[in-house]
Chain A
Amino acid sequence: MNKKEVFKLAKGFRGRAKNCIRIARERVEKALQYSYRDRRNKKRDMRSLWIQRINAGTRQHGVNYGNFMHGLMKENIQLNRKVLSEISMHEPYSFKALVDVSRSAFPGNKAAVPPKKEGLAILV
């Protein structure tokens, strides 16, 4: 790459890395390496975040993530984690229905009684 392209990519860098070509070239190379690596890491991180959200949503109903997914697999519900996390965030009633389906398919969490709440009003 010529200098112009390097400086274009080096916008926002700290100190001399945005102004001086020798330092900028090094930092830009590193930045491109990081972005290559992180395009792959982002997929992992997003999936982990979806799983955390689903876990939180199901634990509100007394089921943990592992048993929930096992129940869904048994019922052959092929919703992926991305969609499940969106449902748990924005559609609480549908998510509760899914949790009930999973619990009927795989009653793993009998010990953990779902916390008593008055109606479904305190879900979100």
Chain B
Amino acid sequence: MSTAAAAQSFNGNLKASSLFFRISLFIKALAGIRRIDLEGLKWRVFDAKGQVLGRLASHISTVVQGKDKPTYTPNREEGDMCIIINAKDVCVTGRKMTDKFYRWHTGYIGHLKERSLKDQMAKDPTEVIRKAVLRMLPRNKLRDDRDRKLRIFADSEHPFGDRPLEPYDMPPRQVREMRPRARRAMIRAQKKAEQQEQGTTNTRKGKKREEMEPESA
């Protein structure tokens, strides 16, 4: 029903190929919903735009396990449905974009494969968050059910618009003070940028600017 509604809403806007792509994404997003008992579960929306990957995944994993409810029971699965949007805009600190590798072994001798975060984001940005959250969940029989409750979308559109959604407010992040070397490098870069700007503006209308400045100051 909701896929038909999505198709109708998209009919006039997009090309055929992207339309099919979106519908296939939405079908995948709706898969397996009947397996979850949706009585009394909330639908929480996480906006991953500008959030740090691990910190976001840690909050998602607490919500998916149901650990933010006082009725938490370890043998029953009562976490809320989590919808994560803007998965392609999730940030990482340091050099993890190029240096964080996802590794897996295929089982054949010598076949240890690896893929960097950059390639994974190019290939499928939802997998980054999904792996991060799954690896934070306890490895027990409820892990697959919790995986089914995660619906991750690379951009900000999702087929669950008709449900009662609740946005999740991320707690403000305590950003660590910059290390001295990094701070000096940043100051140098800022100064360089300022000098370049001033240099270009001075050479353009040098005399007029010099006349203007003492007048204004």
Contacts and interface: CB of A to CB of B under 8 A. Distances in A.
Nearest to B168: A115
B171 A89 contact: no
Interface stretch (B5-13, B69-77, B176-184): B69-77
Interface of A is mostly: helix
A95 B69 CA distance: 13
Given A112-B171, A115-B169, A53 B74 contact: no
Interface size class of B (residues with CB under 8 A): under 10
Contact of B72 (A56, A112, A115): A56
Contact of A56 (B68, B74, B169, B171): B68
Interface in B96-129: none
Counting chain A CB atoms within 10 Å of each CB, the highest count among B68, B70, B72, B169 belongs to B70
A100 to B, nearest CB: 16
Interface in A48-65: 49, 52-54, 56-57, 59-60
A102 interface: no
Given A52-B72, A57-B70, 19 more contacts: A49-B72, A49-B74, A53-B70, A53-B71, A53-B72, A54-B70, A56-B67, A56-B68, A56-B69, A56-B70, A56-B72, A59-B68, A60-B68, A85-B70, A88-B70, A89-B70, A89-B71, A112-B171, A115-B169
Contacts of A88: 70
A88 to B, nearest CB: 4
Contacts of A95: 70
A112 B169 CA distance: 12
Query: Closest 6 CB pairs between A and B?
Result: A57-B70, A88-B70, A56-B70, A53-B70, A89-B70, A56-B68
Contacts of B71: 53, 89
A49 B69 CA distance: 12
Interface string A18-52: 00000000000000000000000000000001001
A63 B216 CA distance: 53
B138 to A, nearest CB: 13
